[in-house]
Structure 1
Amino acid sequence: MRLTKKDVAVMALGKVGGASTVVDTEDAAIAAHAIDRDAFGWKKYPERVDLDAVRTTLRHEGEAKNPRIEGSVQNGWHLTPHGLAWIEANRTLLGDGEITIAATSAATQRWRAETRETGSAVNRVRTSEAFRLWSQGKEFNSRQAAGVFRIDEYTPSKDRTRKAAQLQELTRGHDDIEAFMKTAIPAALDLRAPVGRQQKGNE
Protein backbone atom coordinates (compact mmCIF):
# COMPACT_ATOMS: atom_id res chain seq x y z
CA MET A 1 0.00 0.00 0.00
CA ARG A 2 1.37 3.40 -1.01
CA LEU A 3 0.92 6.35 1.31
CA THR A 4 -1.12 9.24 -0.05
CA LYS A 5 0.03 12.80 0.56
CA LYS A 6 -2.50 13.10 3.36
CA ASP A 7 -1.25 9.86 4.92
CA VAL A 8 2.30 11.19 4.84
CA ALA A 9 1.23 14.45 6.49
CA VAL A 10 -0.49 12.54 9.29
CA MET A 11 2.52 10.28 9.78
CA ALA A 12 4.81 13.31 9.80
CA LEU A 13 2.84 14.94 12.61
CA GLY A 14 3.07 11.72 14.59
CA LYS A 15 6.86 11.67 14.15
CA VAL A 16 7.34 15.20 15.47
CA GLY A 17 5.06 15.03 18.50
CA GLY A 18 1.70 16.00 17.04
CA ALA A 19 0.00 13.50 19.35
CA SER A 20 0.67 15.63 22.41
CA THR A 21 1.49 19.12 21.19
CA VAL A 22 0.79 21.58 18.41
CA VAL A 23 3.35 21.30 15.61
CA ASP A 24 4.45 24.27 13.52
CA THR A 25 3.66 23.95 9.82
CA GLU A 26 7.32 24.23 8.83
CA ASP A 27 8.32 21.43 11.23
CA ALA A 28 5.55 19.26 9.81
CA ALA A 29 6.78 20.08 6.31
CA ILE A 30 10.34 18.99 7.06
CA ALA A 31 9.08 15.71 8.56
CA ALA A 32 6.76 15.06 5.61
CA HIS A 33 9.57 15.71 3.14
CA ALA A 34 11.80 13.28 5.01
CA ILE A 35 9.16 10.57 4.56
CA ASP A 36 8.35 11.28 0.91
CA ARG A 37 10.59 13.78 -0.88
CA ASP A 38 8.93 13.03 -4.23
CA ALA A 39 5.58 14.21 -2.94
CA PHE A 40 6.84 17.15 -0.91
CA GLY A 41 9.97 18.24 -2.72
CA TRP A 42 10.40 20.71 -5.55
CA LYS A 43 10.11 19.06 -8.97
CA LYS A 44 13.42 20.45 -10.18
CA TYR A 45 15.17 20.35 -6.79
CA PRO A 46 13.61 17.43 -4.85
CA GLU A 47 16.01 17.96 -1.96
CA ARG A 48 14.15 21.20 -1.15
CA VAL A 49 10.91 21.15 0.85
CA ASP A 50 7.80 22.29 -1.01
CA LEU A 51 6.16 24.15 1.85
CA ASP A 52 3.09 25.10 -0.19
CA ALA A 53 2.39 21.46 -1.01
CA VAL A 54 2.55 20.54 2.69
CA ARG A 55 0.33 23.47 3.69
CA THR A 56 -2.29 22.47 1.14
CA THR A 57 -2.21 18.83 2.18
CA LEU A 58 -2.52 19.65 5.88
CA ARG A 59 -5.41 22.01 5.22
CA HIS A 60 -7.27 19.48 3.06
CA GLU A 61 -6.87 16.72 5.66
CA GLY A 62 -8.05 19.11 8.37
CA GLU A 63 -11.17 19.87 6.32
CA ALA A 64 -12.04 16.20 5.79
CA LYS A 65 -15.32 14.80 7.12
CA ASN A 66 -13.53 12.80 9.81
CA PRO A 67 -10.14 14.54 9.96
CA ARG A 68 -7.03 12.94 11.35
CA ILE A 69 -5.53 16.34 12.13
CA GLU A 70 -6.76 19.72 13.27
CA GLY A 71 -5.25 23.19 13.28
CA SER A 72 -4.27 25.90 10.85
CA VAL A 73 -1.28 27.10 8.87
CA GLN A 74 -0.92 30.06 11.22
CA ASN A 75 -1.36 28.26 14.56
CA GLY A 76 0.07 24.81 13.88
CA TRP A 77 -1.36 21.28 13.73
CA HIS A 78 -2.05 18.30 15.97
CA LEU A 79 -3.47 14.81 15.60
CA THR A 80 -7.10 14.11 16.42
CA PRO A 81 -8.11 10.92 18.25
CA HIS A 82 -9.00 9.51 14.82
CA GLY A 83 -5.49 10.40 13.65
CA LEU A 84 -3.92 8.69 16.64
CA ALA A 85 -5.95 5.54 16.03
CA TRP A 86 -5.04 5.57 12.32
CA ILE A 87 -1.33 5.82 13.06
CA GLU A 88 -1.50 3.00 15.61
CA ALA A 89 -3.23 0.82 13.02
CA ASN A 90 -0.77 1.68 10.24
CA ARG A 91 2.64 1.83 11.90
CA THR A 92 4.02 -0.76 9.48
CA LEU A 93 3.53 1.64 6.56
CA LEU A 94 6.65 3.47 7.71
CA GLY A 95 8.75 0.35 7.98
CA ASP A 96 11.38 1.08 10.60
CA GLY A 97 10.24 4.69 10.98
CA GLU A 98 9.51 5.70 14.56
CA ILE A 99 6.27 7.38 15.59
CA THR A 100 6.35 9.31 18.84
CA ILE A 101 3.06 8.97 20.68
CA ALA A 102 3.05 9.75 24.39
CA ALA A 103 -0.53 9.08 25.38
CA THR A 104 -0.25 8.66 29.13
CA SER A 105 0.64 12.13 30.38
CA ALA A 106 -1.89 14.44 32.01
CA ALA A 107 -1.14 17.03 29.34
CA THR A 108 -1.99 14.57 26.58
CA GLN A 109 -5.21 13.50 28.28
CA ARG A 110 -6.18 17.14 28.63
CA TRP A 111 -5.30 17.74 24.97
CA ARG A 112 -7.46 14.80 23.90
CA ALA A 113 -10.41 16.20 25.85
CA GLU A 114 -9.90 19.60 24.22
CA THR A 115 -9.67 17.94 20.79
CA ARG A 116 -12.97 16.14 21.34
CA GLU A 117 -14.56 19.43 22.40
CA THR A 118 -13.20 21.15 19.30
CA GLY A 119 -14.47 18.40 17.02
CA SER A 120 -17.89 18.55 18.60
CA ALA A 121 -18.02 22.33 18.15
CA VAL A 122 -17.02 22.14 14.47
CA ASN A 123 -19.63 19.45 13.86
CA ARG A 124 -22.30 21.51 15.62
CA VAL A 125 -21.67 24.49 13.37
CA ARG A 126 -21.44 22.54 10.12
CA THR A 127 -24.65 20.59 10.76
CA SER A 128 -26.67 23.67 11.75
CA GLU A 129 -29.47 25.06 9.61
CA ALA A 130 -27.85 28.51 9.56
CA PHE A 131 -24.55 27.15 8.23
CA ARG A 132 -26.34 25.04 5.60
CA LEU A 133 -28.18 28.09 4.33
CA TRP A 134 -25.05 30.23 4.42
CA SER A 135 -23.12 27.58 2.47
CA GLN A 136 -25.81 27.72 -0.21
CA GLY A 137 -25.58 31.49 -0.44
CA LYS A 138 -28.95 31.94 1.24
CA GLU A 139 -29.92 34.17 4.15
CA PHE A 140 -30.62 32.88 7.63
CA ASN A 141 -32.50 34.61 10.44
CA SER A 142 -31.44 35.54 13.96
CA ARG A 143 -33.18 32.55 15.52
CA GLN A 144 -31.33 30.13 13.23
CA ALA A 145 -28.04 31.87 13.99
CA ALA A 146 -28.73 31.82 17.73
CA GLY A 147 -29.34 28.09 17.60
CA VAL A 148 -25.74 27.55 16.53
CA PHE A 149 -24.56 29.14 19.78
CA ARG A 150 -27.34 27.61 21.94
CA ILE A 151 -28.77 31.05 22.60
CA ASP A 152 -32.47 31.85 22.98
CA GLU A 153 -34.51 35.01 23.44
CA TYR A 154 -34.00 35.03 27.18
CA THR A 155 -30.24 34.43 27.31
CA PRO A 156 -28.63 37.41 29.10
CA SER A 157 -26.44 39.64 26.94
CA LYS A 158 -23.24 38.74 28.79
CA ASP A 159 -23.93 35.02 28.31
CA ARG A 160 -24.67 35.54 24.63
CA THR A 161 -21.32 37.20 24.15
CA ARG A 162 -19.53 34.50 26.16
CA LYS A 163 -21.14 31.63 24.24
CA ALA A 164 -20.40 33.26 20.90
CA ALA A 165 -16.77 33.87 21.84
CA GLN A 166 -16.29 30.32 23.13
CA LEU A 167 -17.65 28.70 19.97
CA GLN A 168 -15.67 31.06 17.78
CA GLU A 169 -12.46 30.13 19.60
CA LEU A 170 -13.16 26.38 19.45
CA THR A 171 -13.69 26.52 15.68
CA ARG A 172 -10.82 28.86 14.88
CA GLY A 173 -8.63 27.68 12.01
CA HIS A 174 -11.52 26.46 9.85
CA ASP A 175 -11.72 29.09 7.13
CA ASP A 176 -15.31 28.42 6.14
CA ILE A 177 -16.56 28.59 9.72
CA GLU A 178 -14.56 31.73 10.44
CA ALA A 179 -16.21 33.40 7.44
CA PHE A 180 -19.64 32.19 8.60
CA MET A 181 -19.04 33.57 12.10
CA LYS A 182 -18.68 37.12 10.75
CA THR A 183 -22.37 37.05 9.86
CA ALA A 184 -23.71 34.55 12.39
CA ILE A 185 -22.45 36.21 15.58
CA PRO A 186 -24.07 39.64 14.97
CA ALA A 187 -27.29 37.92 13.93
CA ALA A 188 -27.36 35.71 17.03
CA LEU A 189 -26.63 38.60 19.37
CA ASP A 190 -29.48 40.55 17.78
CA LEU A 191 -32.14 37.95 18.65
CA ARG A 192 -34.93 39.76 20.46
CA ALA A 193 -37.25 38.63 23.24
CA PRO A 194 -41.01 38.79 22.54
CA VAL A 195 -42.62 42.17 23.11
CA GLY A 196 -43.33 42.76 26.79
CA ARG A 197 -40.66 40.31 27.93
CA GLN A 198 -37.09 41.29 28.70
CA GLN A 199 -34.01 39.12 28.77
CA LYS A 200 -33.37 37.43 32.06
CA GLY A 201 -30.77 39.29 34.03
CA ASN A 202 -31.58 42.59 32.33
CA GLU A 203 -34.75 43.38 34.25
Structure 2
Amino acid sequence: MRLTKKDVAVVALGKLGGAATVIDTEDAAIAAHAIDRDAFGWKKYPERVDLDAVRTTLRHEGEGKDPRIEGSIQNGWHLTPRGVAWVEANKALLGDAKITVAPTSAATQRWRAETREAGAAANRVRTSEAFRLWVQGKELTPRQAAGVFRIDEYTPAKDRTRKTAQLQELIRGDEEIEAFMNMAIPAALELRPPVGRQQEESK
Protein backbone atom coordinates (compact mmCIF):
# COMPACT_ATOMS: atom_id res chain seq x y z
CA MET A 1 0.00 0.00 0.00
CA ARG A 2 1.52 3.30 -1.11
CA LEU A 3 0.75 6.04 1.38
CA THR A 4 -0.03 9.61 0.41
CA LYS A 5 1.17 12.48 2.57
CA LYS A 6 -2.29 12.71 4.10
CA ASP A 7 -2.23 8.96 4.88
CA VAL A 8 1.12 9.38 6.63
CA ALA A 9 -0.25 12.24 8.73
CA VAL A 10 -3.22 10.11 9.79
CA VAL A 11 -0.98 7.16 10.65
CA ALA A 12 1.29 9.46 12.66
CA LEU A 13 -1.65 10.64 14.75
CA GLY A 14 -2.78 7.04 15.19
CA LYS A 15 0.67 6.02 16.44
CA LEU A 16 0.67 8.90 18.94
CA GLY A 17 -2.76 8.07 20.35
CA GLY A 18 -4.71 10.65 18.37
CA ALA A 19 -7.88 8.57 18.64
CA ALA A 20 -8.03 9.29 22.35
CA THR A 21 -6.25 12.59 22.85
CA VAL A 22 -5.15 15.76 21.10
CA ILE A 23 -1.69 15.62 19.52
CA ASP A 24 0.54 18.69 19.26
CA THR A 25 1.41 19.73 15.71
CA GLU A 26 5.17 19.43 16.32
CA ASP A 27 4.80 15.94 17.80
CA ALA A 28 2.74 14.95 14.75
CA ALA A 29 5.48 16.38 12.53
CA ILE A 30 8.21 14.31 14.18
CA ALA A 31 6.11 11.14 13.88
CA ALA A 32 5.21 11.81 10.24
CA HIS A 33 8.88 12.46 9.40
CA ALA A 34 9.85 9.18 11.07
CA ILE A 35 7.40 7.36 8.78
CA ASP A 36 8.34 9.13 5.54
CA ARG A 37 11.52 11.23 5.51
CA ASP A 38 11.26 11.86 1.78
CA ALA A 39 7.82 13.46 2.11
CA PHE A 40 8.43 15.39 5.32
CA GLY A 41 12.15 16.09 5.33
CA TRP A 42 14.08 18.98 3.82
CA LYS A 43 15.19 18.30 0.24
CA LYS A 44 18.83 19.05 0.95
CA TYR A 45 18.83 17.78 4.54
CA PRO A 46 16.25 14.95 4.71
CA GLU A 47 17.13 14.21 8.33
CA ARG A 48 15.49 17.52 9.29
CA VAL A 49 11.72 17.76 9.74
CA ASP A 50 9.90 20.00 7.27
CA LEU A 51 7.36 21.43 9.71
CA ASP A 52 5.64 23.53 7.05
CA ALA A 53 5.01 20.43 4.90
CA VAL A 54 3.41 18.63 7.86
CA ARG A 55 1.32 21.65 8.82
CA THR A 56 0.03 22.00 5.26
CA THR A 57 -0.80 18.29 5.04
CA LEU A 58 -2.63 18.25 8.37
CA ARG A 59 -4.59 21.35 7.44
CA HIS A 60 -5.58 20.01 4.02
CA GLU A 61 -6.75 16.69 5.46
CA GLY A 62 -8.65 18.49 8.23
CA GLU A 63 -10.39 20.80 5.75
CA GLY A 64 -11.42 17.96 3.42
CA LYS A 65 -15.00 16.95 2.68
CA ASP A 66 -14.91 13.86 4.92
CA PRO A 67 -11.76 14.40 7.01
CA ARG A 68 -9.97 11.74 9.00
CA ILE A 69 -8.59 14.34 11.41
CA GLU A 70 -9.81 17.48 13.14
CA GLY A 71 -7.96 20.29 14.84
CA SER A 72 -5.75 23.26 14.14
CA ILE A 73 -2.07 24.10 13.88
CA GLN A 74 -2.25 26.07 17.10
CA ASN A 75 -4.33 23.70 19.25
CA GLY A 76 -3.34 20.26 17.96
CA TRP A 77 -5.05 17.38 16.13
CA HIS A 78 -7.05 14.21 16.76
CA LEU A 79 -8.60 11.47 14.63
CA THR A 80 -12.24 11.73 13.62
CA PRO A 81 -14.45 8.60 13.74
CA ARG A 82 -13.65 8.11 10.05
CA GLY A 83 -9.95 8.43 10.85
CA VAL A 84 -10.22 5.85 13.63
CA ALA A 85 -12.03 3.47 11.27
CA TRP A 86 -9.38 3.99 8.57
CA VAL A 87 -6.54 3.28 10.98
CA GLU A 88 -8.37 0.24 12.36
CA ALA A 89 -8.66 -1.06 8.79
CA ASN A 90 -4.93 -0.54 8.28
CA LYS A 91 -3.56 -1.67 11.65
CA ALA A 92 -0.40 -3.07 10.10
CA LEU A 93 0.69 0.52 9.45
CA LEU A 94 0.84 1.22 13.19
CA GLY A 95 3.60 -1.28 13.89
CA ASP A 96 3.76 -1.88 17.64
CA ALA A 97 1.47 1.05 18.48
CA LYS A 98 -2.01 0.24 19.73
CA ILE A 99 -5.00 2.37 18.85
CA THR A 100 -7.31 3.06 21.78
CA VAL A 101 -10.36 5.26 21.98
CA ALA A 102 -10.89 6.88 25.37
CA PRO A 103 -14.31 8.02 26.64
CA THR A 104 -14.93 11.54 25.45
CA SER A 105 -15.06 14.04 28.31
CA ALA A 106 -17.21 17.15 28.29
CA ALA A 107 -14.06 19.26 27.92
CA THR A 108 -12.93 17.22 24.93
CA GLN A 109 -16.39 17.42 23.35
CA ARG A 110 -16.28 21.19 23.76
CA TRP A 111 -12.76 21.38 22.31
CA ARG A 112 -13.76 19.26 19.31
CA ALA A 113 -16.78 21.46 18.69
CA GLU A 114 -14.50 24.51 18.79
CA THR A 115 -12.02 22.98 16.35
CA ARG A 116 -14.84 22.00 13.98
CA GLU A 117 -16.05 25.60 14.09
CA ALA A 118 -12.52 26.86 13.42
CA GLY A 119 -12.12 24.45 10.51
CA ALA A 120 -15.42 25.55 9.01
CA ALA A 121 -14.40 29.20 9.39
CA ALA A 122 -11.05 28.60 7.69
CA ASN A 123 -12.77 26.78 4.84
CA ARG A 124 -15.25 29.64 4.47
CA VAL A 125 -12.42 32.14 4.17
CA ARG A 126 -10.42 30.05 1.71
CA THR A 127 -13.40 29.51 -0.59
CA SER A 128 -14.43 33.17 -0.59
CA GLU A 129 -14.07 35.39 -3.65
CA ALA A 130 -12.05 37.86 -1.59
CA PHE A 131 -9.43 35.25 -0.63
CA ARG A 132 -9.17 34.05 -4.23
CA LEU A 133 -8.53 37.59 -5.42
CA TRP A 134 -6.00 38.20 -2.66
CA VAL A 135 -4.07 35.04 -3.57
CA GLN A 136 -3.97 36.30 -7.16
CA GLY A 137 -2.56 39.63 -5.98
CA LYS A 138 -5.65 41.59 -6.99
CA GLU A 139 -7.29 44.41 -5.04
CA LEU A 140 -10.51 43.87 -3.11
CA THR A 141 -13.50 46.15 -2.85
CA PRO A 142 -14.84 46.87 0.65
CA ARG A 143 -17.97 44.87 -0.26
CA GLN A 144 -15.93 41.79 -1.26
CA ALA A 145 -13.88 41.97 1.94
CA ALA A 146 -16.99 42.49 4.06
CA GLY A 147 -18.58 39.37 2.58
CA VAL A 148 -15.93 37.24 4.28
CA PHE A 149 -17.23 38.40 7.67
CA ARG A 150 -20.91 38.24 6.68
CA ILE A 151 -21.42 41.95 7.14
CA ASP A 152 -23.00 44.47 4.79
CA GLU A 153 -23.98 48.13 4.61
CA TYR A 154 -26.75 47.61 7.15
CA THR A 155 -24.64 45.90 9.82
CA PRO A 156 -24.28 48.24 12.85
CA ALA A 157 -20.77 49.49 13.58
CA LYS A 158 -20.49 47.55 16.87
CA ASP A 159 -21.51 44.31 15.14
CA ARG A 160 -18.96 44.87 12.38
CA THR A 161 -16.18 45.07 14.93
CA ARG A 162 -17.50 42.02 16.78
CA LYS A 163 -17.84 39.86 13.66
CA THR A 164 -14.38 40.68 12.33
CA ALA A 165 -12.83 40.01 15.74
CA GLN A 166 -14.68 36.70 16.15
CA LEU A 167 -13.57 35.36 12.78
CA GLN A 168 -10.01 36.55 13.34
CA GLU A 169 -9.89 34.66 16.64
CA LEU A 170 -11.33 31.48 15.12
CA ILE A 171 -8.62 31.18 12.46
CA ARG A 172 -5.71 32.25 14.67
CA GLY A 173 -2.70 30.02 14.00
CA ASP A 174 -3.14 29.78 10.24
CA GLU A 175 -0.40 32.11 8.97
CA GLU A 176 -1.73 32.45 5.43
CA ILE A 177 -5.26 33.33 6.49
CA GLU A 178 -3.96 35.66 9.21
CA ALA A 179 -2.01 37.58 6.55
CA PHE A 180 -5.17 37.82 4.46
CA MET A 181 -7.22 38.98 7.46
CA ASN A 182 -4.75 41.77 8.24
CA MET A 183 -5.61 43.22 4.86
CA ALA A 184 -9.30 42.23 4.68
CA ILE A 185 -10.46 43.64 8.03
CA PRO A 186 -9.54 47.29 7.32
CA ALA A 187 -11.01 46.94 3.84
CA ALA A 188 -14.25 45.46 5.18
CA LEU A 189 -14.64 48.24 7.75
CA GLU A 190 -14.46 50.79 4.94
CA LEU A 191 -17.87 49.63 3.69
CA ARG A 192 -20.14 52.59 4.41
CA PRO A 193 -23.73 52.29 5.63
CA PRO A 194 -26.52 54.15 3.79
CA VAL A 195 -26.70 57.88 4.55
CA GLY A 196 -29.71 57.49 6.82
CA ARG A 197 -28.02 54.73 8.84
CA GLN A 198 -24.84 56.82 9.16
CA GLN A 199 -26.86 59.61 10.74
CA GLU A 200 -28.56 57.18 13.15
CA GLU A 201 -25.25 55.67 14.28
CA SER A 202 -23.70 59.09 14.82
CA LYS A 203 -26.43 60.10 17.30
Q: TM (normalized to structure 1)? A: 0.77
Query: Equivalent residues in 2 for 1:13-162 (5 A)?
Result: 13-19=13-19, 20-25=21-26, 27-33=27-33, 35=35, 50-52=48-50, 54-64=51-61, 66=64, 68-72=69-73, 75=74, 77-79=76-78, 81=80, 84-91=81-88, 92=91, 93-102=93-102, 104-162=104-162
Question: Counterpart of 1:124 in 2: which secondary structure?
Answer: helix
Encode CA deviations 1:60-98: one digit per residue, 9 max, x unaligned. Answer: 3313551635433xx3531363xx412322232324421
Q: Does the 8 Å contact 1:6/1:61 carry over to 2?
A: yes
The amino acid that maps onto 1:131 is F
Q: Distance in 2 between matches of 1:33 and 1:58?
A: 12
Counterpart secondary structure, 2:195: coil
Residue in 2 that maps onto 1:180? 180
* CA offsets 1:106-139 (integer angstroms, 9 cap, x no match): 1221122112211211121122221122222222
- Residue type matched to 1:28 in 2? A
**Uncovered stretches (5+) of structure 2, i.e. residues with no partner:** none
Q: How far apart in 2 are the matches of 1:100 and 1:189?
A: 48
Q: Which runs of 5+ in 1 are unaligned?
A: none
Does residue 190 of structure 2 align to residue 190 of structure 1? yes
- How many residues are matched? 195
Shift of 1:152: 1.8
Name the SS of the counterpart of 1:153 in structure 2.
Answer: coil
- 1:78 counterpart SS class: strand
C-alpha distance in structure 2 between counterparts of 1:140 and 1:51, whole Å: 37
Q: Could you tell which deviates more after superposition, 135-144 or 9-18?
A: 9-18
In 2, Cα distance between the equivalents of 1:199 and 1:149? 23
Secondary structure, aligned partner of 1:3: coil
- The 1-side partners of 2:144 and 2:187 are apart by 9
Deviations 1:151-171 (A, max 9, x none): 122322222112111111211
Aligned equivalents of 2:128, 2:41: Cα separation in 1: 40
Percent identity (aligned)? 64
Do the aligned residues in 1 keep the contact of 2:16 with 2:23 (CA within 8 Å)?
no
Question: Which residue identity is paired with 1:77?
Answer: G
Separation (CA, whole Å) in 1 of partners of 2:17 and 2:28: 10
Give the alignment's TM-score, normalised by structure 2: 0.77
